[in-house]
Amino acid sequence: MNQSPEHYIDEIRSKVRSPEIVSTLTESMMWSRHETLLWQADKFDGAPYFNAVYKWKNYYSFSLLALIVKKGNMRLNAAIYKKVKHPNFLSLYSHDIIDKDIKKVGGPLKNNQSIDDPKDYMTKVAAAMTADIEEIEANNPGYVNLVLCGGKDSMNSLLLPWKNPVIALSAEPNYPLVLEFIKRNGLNIEIRRLEDIYDEKMLKQEQLECCCRMELSNWKWGADLRNITNEYDKKVIFWQGQYSEILLSTDWKYMIWPRNKFNNFLGKLHRITSPYMPPAIRFWIGERVAPHSFTRAWHFSSVKLGGHMAFIRALCSALALSPYVGPNMTKLFSQVNQARAVQYDRRAELGPAIVGRKVWYPEENPGPEISKFRYKAQDPDQFIKILKENGINVI
């Protein structure tokens, strides 16, 4: 049974009362195991570009709510409040935080465009993903890998050489496609159907953990994911296909920063016309557009996608990761020349690179609907009301 918001916050208060104290904190320390909610450190070494790392004074957490609870109050950022109240609100950016005192640690991934051979790049992607999951499994022996599965990004994750048990979690309308993918590729993997369960108490906890960052109808399945986590006594790791579309498809071609109508138009025009350009012009333009994708990924994708991973982790008390953003993948992505190595959608090539044989993929990728009962649930007035009801002042 899910807790009331009061009991949920009381539990967080108990956890943050005694943070883990270290002299130097790193992203790997925060994102390779789930044992700690709050760290206290003299300094942070590194610049995360995707995984959530938030800071208040010398305290660090992947959960904004944990830092607010530690503070005992929320100092409202009026400008961010106004952004979230906009009728067309979708997502905040990395530097946009509802509490003025809390900052996000990190910045865009720096990229030198040194790997430009398409075949070499795909081979290295498969090897880097494998190395990263091996490291996580070694740090969490016996934990069950729960792969949230819908499109090619997450289907490719099922093909990795896992040592610990793997279960695919999929929702309609993708469930039958994932089931067919498992069967036709001869994978010995259990699949479970995800249901987006309405639970009033759970919804309030989701509103708290969201901290107004995202249109909450996009962050689904909270109650069902927690129920599954509890079945395994929290000895699970969630995996999502986050970030793959930026590095293996043509999404990078339209990701011109900053986001505005003119740049969005230029990005779409580039994506449509680049296949018809002479190679020299295509590469020249592409090598100047590609760095924008890393900037936009930090400002936008790290909230929409990376924030969702931190959200699941906080709600379920279990790691939530992507095999596309581990340390070996990060090193590789810091070197890829997307203009030359990723001229078309290459996700269907990754599976064969992982398993060394032909892989069947469904032709369609419908994607689940947004969660209707969560629509506009990130409303800051509701968030503030729940905080106040549970003894957290808003100033």
HEC per residue, 152-189 = HHHHHHHCCCCCCCEEEEECCCCHHHHHHHHHHCCCCC
In whole angstroms, give the CA distance from residue 380 to residue 370. 20
Burial 217-238 (b: 16+ CB within 10 A, else e): bbbbbbbbbbbbbeeeeeebbb
Q: What band does 13 get if pLDDT is binned at 50, 70 and 90?
A: very high
Mean pLDDT throughout 261-287?
97
Whether 263 is in a domain gets the answer no
Q: What band does 4 get if pLDDT is binned at 50, 70 and 90?
A: confident
pLDDT at 1 over 60: no
Q: What is the pLDDT of residue 5?
A: 84
Angle at 67 between CA 61 and CA 73, to 5 degrees: 175
Sheet of 190-193: strand order equals 190-193, 166-170, 144-148, 236-239, 319-321
In whole angstroms, give the CA distance from residue 145 to residue 148. 10
Q: What is the pLDDT of residue 58?
A: 98
Whether 274 is in a domain gets the answer no
Q: Which two tokens stand for residue 230?
A: 């509890």
Sign of the dihedral through C-alpha 16, 384, 386, 299:
negative
Burial 58-87 (b: 16+ CB within 10 A, else e): ebbbbbbbbbbbbbeebebbeebeebbeee
Mean pLDDT throughout 115-128?
98
Angle at 123 between CA 122 and CA 125, to 5 degrees: 60
pLDDT at 242 over 90: no
The reply to whether 190 and 322 lie within a common domain is yes
Instruction: Give the rounded percent of residues in the chain with a pLDDT score beyond 90.
Output: 96
Q: What band does 129 get if pLDDT is binned at 50, 70 and 90?
A: very high
pLDDT at 17 over 80: yes
The reply to whether 234 and 361 lie within a common domain is yes
pLDDT at 262 over 80: yes
Model confidence pTM above 0.75 = yes
Q: Helix, strand or coil for residue 67? A: helix
> Which residues form the domain of 41?
5-108+374-394
The reply to whether 78 and 123 lie within a common domain is no
Mean pLDDT throughout 20-24?
98
The reply to whether 191 and 231 lie within a common domain is yes
The reply to whether 99 and 226 lie within a common domain is no
Q: Which of 5, 37, 98 is nearest to 314 (CA)?
A: 37
What is the tens place of the pLDDT at every residue in 134-180? 999 999 999 999 999 999 999 999 999 999 999 999 999 999 999 99
Per the structure, the count of domains in the chain is 2
What is the tens place of the pLDDT at every residue in 300-320? 999 999 999 999 999 999 999
Strands 144-148 and 166-170: parallel
